Amino acid sequence: MSSLVPATLGWLVLGYVGAITLGRLMLLRDTIIDQLINRNLLWSIAALLCYRCAQASVTSPVYVLALGCVEMTTMHLFVIARYILAETDSTVVWRRLRRCGFVAAAATVVMLLAGIVAQDNGRPVDLSAHGPAAIFGIAYAAPLAVNMVVFLLSGIHELRLGDLSAKMQVVCWILGISGGFVLSSQALSIAQLLTGRPALGPHLPRGELDFVLCVTLNVTLLAIPLLSALLTLAGWDRDGRLCRRLRPLWRDLTAAVPEIVLPADPRHGADPVTRLFRMTVEIRDALLHLGSYLPAETAQPQRRAEPDWEITDYAHRLAYAVRARKAGERPAVVGSRPRLPMTGHDFDAELRHLLGLARVWPKTAVR
């Protein structure tokens, strides 16, 4: 029995999974779910590597080790499912994972011993109803089926709660289809074992093909949050882009009123959501401090029909206030307060108004 996965395709999948895993280990490792997923991916890499090293024949002990690694990946899915169904603390999660690891290791030892005995008796190392081969098949298929059923039940549970976003619902459905594909393959193997039909050939090479396909699909899904993390790291996410649009205005205002800059928080300093909120608050505080330096409105009546004349006029007057404050001049009117052309009643409306001010700010040529 030889592998159904071409060597070139197998190595490409291994490289693809390895790249996604490396990215997740660097950027996505904070939550328990992320840590379990990352460990699952490491075991998937080990399984793919063992499959490549033993691709000539499934009788190799290295191939059996690959099956043991596959068992470990499904054990991680089982632990993730149990955590989703009943949110427990981290000590319970890791203790459960150690127990599942022991079960997977025991199943691997049983498969190794059963495979050796089957070969000594002249039997093929595959799912079969004959003696050691039957033990081999039970040790391989039983834990895998149980783990996948529990994982699918956890997905159904989350979908029935109805509090998932549309994107997460799509992910759950895709994972459910992937898990259902594995269970369907197992059901076909059992039917072939008991009745001889359908005649699909040896079971284990088909199981390897199923694993490669499912890992490729699941890793592609896991690449989506990794891509989002990379965009955030590069500042290309929505909040990062908004911060860049506000930065010239924020830089000039805080240079004129440096005392309003909030102290840095090392826990959230790089978080674009927190950074955007801080910049908005600091801009607002600077506007309040600069209010007494604002000159009177300068826009002519005939310009009031121009688009954005009010925000543009305010930007020019604010630029004058910035220069006056930096030059050490006395306030024009003590106690006056700045007023934007429109005032927002929530953060989103406030942000839109400040973005409008930031859009016309470069025209003021503040130095």
Residue 346 to residues 251, 289, 351, 352, Cα–Cα distance (Å): 23, 21, 9, 10
pLDDT given for residue 24 in this prediction: 93
**Taking the mean position of all CA atoms in its chain, how far away is CA 361?**
36
- Do residues 316 and 271 both lie within one domain? yes
Total Cβ atoms within 10 A of residue 297: 11
Residue 1 lies in a domain: no
Q: How confident is residue 21, by pLDDT bands cut at 50, 70 and 90? A: very high
In the predicted model, is pLDDT for residue 37 greater than 70? yes
- Do residues 162 and 277 both lie within one domain? no
- For the stretch 92-134, pLDDT in tens is 899 999 999 999 999 999 988 887 886 666 665 666 656 777 7
pLDDT given for residue 317 in this prediction: 87
pLDDT given for residue 199 in this prediction: 66
- Do residues 284 and 229 both lie within one domain? no
Name the residue with tokens 């600069």: 290
pLDDT given for residue 69 in this prediction: 94
Helix (H) or strand (E) holding 194: helix 166-195
- Do residues 220 and 242 both lie within one domain? no
pLDDT given for residue 246 in this prediction: 93
Q: In 316-351, which positions are buried (b, 16+ CB within 10 angstroms) versus exposed (e)?
A: bbbbbbbbbbeeeeebeeeeeebebeeeeeeeeebb
- For the stretch 269-307, pLDDT in tens is 567 888 898 999 999 999 988 888 888 765 555 555 556
- Do residues 267 and 211 both lie within one domain? no
- Do residues 157 and 301 both lie within one domain? no
In the predicted model, is pLDDT for residue 344 greater than 60? no
Mean pLDDT of 228-245: 86
Mean pLDDT of 65-93: 88
Domain region containing 177: 7-234
Report the candidate in 118, 144, 120 with the shortest Cα–Cα distance to residue 131. 118
- Do residues 39 and 150 both lie within one domain? yes
329 vs 100, residue with greater confidence: 100
Domain boundary among 205, 234, 263: 234
Residue 285 lies in a domain: yes
Q: How confident is residue 367, by pLDDT bands cut at 50, 70 and 90? A: low
Q: How confident is residue 49, by pLDDT bands cut at 50, 70 and 90? A: very high
- Do residues 197 and 258 both lie within one domain? no
Q: How confident is residue 266, by pLDDT bands cut at 50, 70 and 90? A: low
Total Cβ atoms within 10 A of residue 220: 13
- Do residues 70 and 206 both lie within one domain? yes
- Do residues 67 and 148 both lie within one domain? yes
Residue 2 lies in a domain: no
Domain boundary among 234, 250, 268: 234
Residue 338 lies in a domain: yes
d(CA 95, CA 90): 8
CATH number at residue 215: 1.20.1070.10
Domain boundary among 213, 234, 255: 234
Q: What whole-number percentage of the chain has pLDDT above 70? A: 80
- Contacts of residue 87, Cβ cutoff 8 Å, sequence gap at least 6: none
d(CA 197, CA 188): 8
Question: Count of domains in the chain?
Answer: 2
- Contacts of residue 51, Cβ cutoff 8 Å, sequence gap at least 6: 3, 5, 10, 63, 66, 208, 211, 212
Residue 58 DSSP class: T
Total Cβ atoms within 10 A of residue 262: 11
Residue 178 lies in a domain: yes
Q: Under the phi-then-psi rule, with left for phi > 0, alpha for psi from -120 to 50, and beta for the rest, what region is 37?
A: alpha
Report the candidate in 14, 159, 188, 103 with the shortest Cα–Cα distance to residue 180. 188
- Do residues 200 and 110 both lie within one domain? yes
**Are 149 and 110 a contacting pair, CB within 8 Å?**
no
Mean pLDDT of 138-151: 85
- Do residues 194 and 265 both lie within one domain? no
d(CA 173, CA 254): 49
